[in-house]
Amino acid sequence: MRLEGKVSLITGGGSGIGRESALLFANEGARVVVVDIDDRAGEDTVTMVREAGGEAVYVHADVSRANDCENMVRTAEERYEKLNVLFNNAGILHENDSDAESTEEQVWDFTMAVNLKGVFFGCKYGIPALRRAGGGSVINTASFVALMGAATPQIAYTASKGGVLALTRELAVVHARENIRFNALCPGPLRTELLMKFLDTEEKRQRRLVHIPMGRFGEASEMARAALYLASDESSFVTGTEFKADGGITAAYVTPL
């Protein structure tokens, strides 16, 4: 098992990438702390993990709140005595996120609070726990839009994910000698509830699909497998990366400097 003996904390664990990662990590031997703001969804994930023979606990947290993030890390250590893997995955894509002219300030602030400050808080309180465990892996969910513009305007989301990528790089450098690795998972467009609610017409979906060389949306389970690699010791010399699992979209449209 690739995560045997490890303790993993996953935010946004009630759905999408977070749920699939919780199930996969547990199947690979990890004890999992499932974090979400939706209690029913988070508890459902824990039930699924346990029914599959794994071990998990649910913690309610709004990742935009420092106290909640501090508590989720504390709970991981109190329940399982350590923390080895921190997956800052929680994120939102607001239905009214659009271009700079039409996006309201409150949409911008809310998006930044969850997508960027939430990652900061996870790292702020998670790093000391990882240090106490002798090191570990931090995975921050960014996006392919951190590397290129989105065809459908989503200015706050894109800016927030660019911030996640920059934060990840700096933390990777700062903590490299402490055996704490930081990598940004950059998914391409996925067939998740988050994106499908935003791309709510066939026209919008086709506008996104036409840019993906593989010609399809990715699946949350595929992102979970990418996260598993970053969480495991197989990626022991991997830090500071923009780990792209995007169906080739950035290869097709981003030109290296």
Task: At 35, list the tokens.
Answer: 């974090």
Cα 244 to Cα 242: distance, rounded to the nearest angstrom? 6
pTM: 0.94
Q: Please, which residues bridge with residue 245 across strands?
A: 187
Task: At 179, list the tokens.
Answer: 């055996």
Cα 11 to Cα 9: distance, rounded to the nearest angstrom? 7
Confidence of residue 204 (pLDDT cuts 50, 70, 90): confident
Active-site residue among 58, 157, 229, 253?
157
- Of all residues in the chain, what percent carry a pLDDT higher than 90? 82
Whole-number mean pLDDT of the chain?
Answer: 94
- Residue pointed to by tokens 């690795």: 181
| pLDDT tens-digit map of 135-177 | 999 999 999 999 998 878 899 999 999 999 999 999 999 999 9
If you average pLDDT over residues 53-68, what whole number do you get?
98
| 208 or 63, which is more confident | 63
If you average pLDDT over residues 242-254, what whole number do you get?
89
Task: At 193, list the tokens.
Answer: 């509830």
Confidence of residue 189 (pLDDT cuts 50, 70, 90): confident
| pLDDT tens-digit map of 106-129 | 999 999 999 999 999 999 999 999
135: DSSP letter: -
Dihedral over alpha carbons 20, 25, 26, 30 (to 10 degrees): -150
Evaluated on CA atoms 170, 20, 246, 234, the torsion sign reads positive
Tell me if residue 157 is catalytic: yes
Which domains can be identified in the chain, with CATH numbers? Answer: 7-244 (3.40.50.720)
Task: At 77, list the tokens.
Answer: 């250590």
- How far, in whole angstroms, is CA 9 from its chain's centroid? 11
